[in-house]
């Protein structure tokens, strides 16, 4: 079973290898992430990389929560993530 932090780390590694993300510093907190990064590929902007990172990572974490039969807070966590997502829509 993946921890949510493992999903974040794997997504960052992918962005480094496939999208040219340069990571100078990072810290995973319980409910957020701090990054000092840049884009090394002139064809892909940092904004594009971070958009893709957030979308992929959030979808993977949601799947992880949905598939974890031992998660006692599943309904609440999924509800909370849905509500937060609704607040971020333009």
Task: Answer whether residue 2 shows pLDDT above 80.
Answer: no
State what percent of residues in the chain have pLDDT above 90: 58
Task: Answer whether residue 89 shows pLDDT above 80.
Answer: no
Which tens digits make up the pLDDT trace of 12-42?
999 999 999 999 999 999 889 999 999 998 8
Task: Tell me the pTM.
Answer: 0.82
State how far the Cα of 7 lies from the Cα of 20, in Å rounded to an integer. Answer: 19
Calculate the CA 88 to chain-centre distance.
Answer: 15
State how far the Cα of 83 lies from the Cα of 15, in Å rounded to an integer. Answer: 27
pLDDT band for 72, please (50, 70, 90 cuts).
confident
Q: Does 83 or 28 have the greater pLDDT score?
A: 28
């Amino acid at each position: 079973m993946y921890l949510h932090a493992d999903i974040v780390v794997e997504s960052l590694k992918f962005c480094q290898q496939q999208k040219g993300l340069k990571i100078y510093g990072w810290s995973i907190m319980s409910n957020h992430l701090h990054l000092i990064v840049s884009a090394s590929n002139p064809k892909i902007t940092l904004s594009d990389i971070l958009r893709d990172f957030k979308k992929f990572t959030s979808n993977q974490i949601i799947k992880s929560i949905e598939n974890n039969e031992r998660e006692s807070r599943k309904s609440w966590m999924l509800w909370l993530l849905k509500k937060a997502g609704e607040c971020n829509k333009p």
